[in-house]
């Protein structure tokens, strides 16, 4: 083949590749700060730089962090807290003030590229979220107006949602938004995102659907390690991993509402490296496998995209930089970090994707990935602060329903008379009674699960069986 002919073929191949395939995926990290033992803001940013993070997502617009990011190459996402959305939505002056304080003060030296309005508001975790919900898009419009008035056009505005915005997530081609938000909130949101060429940001965690049904769902499929090929009966698209299925279910849901081309961004994804005894698959091996495979897949020279959107780059943020020890909820909530709170790596990770998977040092494979199926009790953590323990004991016993009846003077669990003994009984009793309503064995870090029955004599501690 002649040199000229070779050039012609290469040029034609270039034309055949979609233009968005030229943009390599950007991988970033969420910088949560819900810990009382975390590195300083300065140290945190230095760590991000040393890890070659392309993006960082903040859960506010922390002035110290934004100053420290000035002059760096890291693209930054800041957030409007949920509590500020209603006021901003109702008043352009307040929106202007927010932009002046949290954007103009730092931009362009700090490369702010995304403003996220609220965090998972559409999940309705509280009644306040329900009140905020109709104000999300109006707040986004007012912030957009303010940016436009200052000639700023390279900052995209969106809001991160969880996968629970979908009524029907599977198979992907059946993706449908919840009826309570579909027309009232989602349609205006999609119209805004489409008109501003912004991203539909989603917190997408394959860990949760897998851990909710680990017996019938392939762990390898969730970790990008499966040879399984699932064909969607509605679209004919072929899937090799759970993440693609989850993202495409949103793409089909948007298409169903008349918006087939809005780009998707991943505002959170990851895998916990530790959890409670009654939680499946939360270990270092799985966390390293998921995040390494995710990065390797997303940082190819030409983005892979998903079956519904092949070759489309997806800006992505891994959750999270550090473990966060004061987060509530089950044990996994406090163990999503790439780093421990002392800044040492939980496992080796390369955010650039330049390191081959075969170059990582092998990690011990866990003996099992299922949750503990026997009886569990909730007892006081070793070294618990007695003053805080007394308050937690009071909280558990004040819930009524006989939670602490056995601790009354003369009753079977009254002795030995110690805060630790009484609190362990109260914690186990409270957890057993309210677990199905969302209670967990944490009590602000004062409690832990155990497989060892703490009962003694006539005093029988209530237990939980997962």
Report the greatest alpha carbon distance in the chain: 99
Cα–Cα–Cα angle for 307, 116, 316, rounded to 5 degrees: 35
Q: Is 383 exposed, middle or buried (0-12, 13-18, 19+ CB in 10 A)?
A: exposed
Which uninterrupted H or E stretch holds 157? strand 156-158
Choosing from 84, 268, 312, 333, which is the catalytic residue? 268
Choosing from 120, 312, 324, 333, which is the catalytic residue? 120
Cα–Cα–Cα angle for 30, 200, 229, rounded to 5 degrees: 90
Note if 46 is an active site residue.
no
Residues 366, 363: Cα–Cα separation, whole Å: 9
Note if 268 is an active site residue.
yes
Which uninterrupted H or E stretch holds 422? helix 419-434
Tokens of 316: 């992505």
Tokens of 230: 């699932």
Q: Is 105 exposed, middle or buried (0-12, 13-18, 19+ CB in 10 A)?
A: middle
Count Cβ atoms below 10 Å from residue 149 Cβ, excluding itself. Answer: 11
Question: Strand pairing partners for 264?
Answer: 200
DSSP state of 239: E
Buried b (16+ CB within 10 A) or exposed e, 16-27: eeeeebeeebbb
Residues 440, 420: Cα–Cα separation, whole Å: 18
Count Cβ atoms below 10 Å from residue 416 Cβ, excluding itself. Answer: 10
Mind spelling out the 3-state secondary structure of 290-322? HHHHHHHHHCCCCCCEECCEECCCCCEEECCCE
- 176-177 vs 166-168, strand pairing mode: antiparallel
Whether residue 358 is preceded by a cis peptide bond, meaning omega within 30 degrees of 0, is no
Q: Return the active site residues.
A: 120, 268
């Amino acid at each position: 083949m002649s040199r000229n002919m070779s050039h012609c073929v290469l040029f034609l191949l270039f034309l055949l590749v979609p233009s968005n395939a030229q943009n390599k995926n950007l991988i970033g990290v969420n910088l949560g700060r819900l810990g009382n033992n975390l590195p300083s803001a300065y140290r945190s940013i230095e760590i991000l730089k040393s890890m070659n993070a392309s993006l960082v997502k903040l859960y506010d617009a922390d002035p110290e962090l934004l100053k420290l990011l000035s002059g760096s190459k890291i693209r930054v996402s800041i957030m409007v807290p949920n509590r500020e959305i209603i006021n901003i939505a109702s008043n352009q002056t307040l929106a202007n003030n927010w932009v002046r304080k949290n954007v103009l003060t730092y931009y362009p030296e700090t490369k702010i590229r995304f403003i996220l309005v609220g965090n998972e508001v559409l999940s309705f975790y509280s009644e306040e979220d329900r009140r905020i919900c109709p104000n999300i898009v109006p707040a986004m419009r007012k912030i957009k107006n303010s940016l436009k008035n200052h000639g700023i056009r390279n900052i995209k505005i969106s809001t991160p949602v969880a996968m629970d915005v979908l009524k029907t997530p599977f198979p992907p081609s059946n993706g449908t938004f919840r009826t309570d938000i579909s027309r009232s909130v989602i349609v205006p949101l999609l119209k805004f995102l489409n008109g501003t060429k912004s991203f539909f940001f989603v917190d997408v965690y394959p860990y949760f659907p897998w851990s909710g049904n680990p017996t019938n769902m392939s762990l390898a499929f969730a970790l990008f390690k499966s040879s399984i090929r699932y064909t969607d009966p509605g679209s004919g698209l072929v899937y090799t991993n759970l993440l693609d299925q989850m993202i495409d279910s949103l793409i089909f849901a948007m298409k169903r509402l008349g918006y087939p081309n809005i780009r998707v961004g991943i505002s959170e994804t990851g895998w916990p490296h530790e959890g409670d005894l009654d939680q499946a698959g939360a270990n270092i091996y799985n966390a390293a496998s998921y995040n390494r495979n995710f990065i390797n897949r997303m940082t190819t020279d030409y983005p892979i995209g998903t079956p519904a959107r092949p070759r489309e780059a997806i800006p992505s943020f891994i959750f999270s930089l550090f473990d966060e020890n004061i987060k509530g909820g089950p044990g996994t909530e406090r163990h999503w970090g790439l780093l421990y709170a002392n800044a040492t790596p939980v496992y080796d990770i390369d955010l650039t994707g330049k390191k081959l998977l075969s170059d990582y040092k092998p990690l011990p494979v866990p003996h099992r990935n299922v949750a503990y199926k026997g009886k569990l009790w909730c007892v006081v953590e070793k070294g618990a602060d007695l003053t805080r323990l007394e308050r937690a004991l009071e909280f558990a016993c004040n819930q009524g329903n006989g939670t602490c009846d056995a601790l009354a003077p003369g009753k079977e669990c009254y002795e030995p008379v110690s805060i630790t003994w009484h609190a362990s009984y109260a914690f186990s009793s409270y957890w057993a009674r309210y677990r199905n309503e969302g209670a967990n064995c944490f009590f602000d870090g004062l409690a832990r699960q155990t497989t060892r029955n703490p009962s003694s004599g006539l005093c029988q501690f209530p237990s939980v069986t997962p």
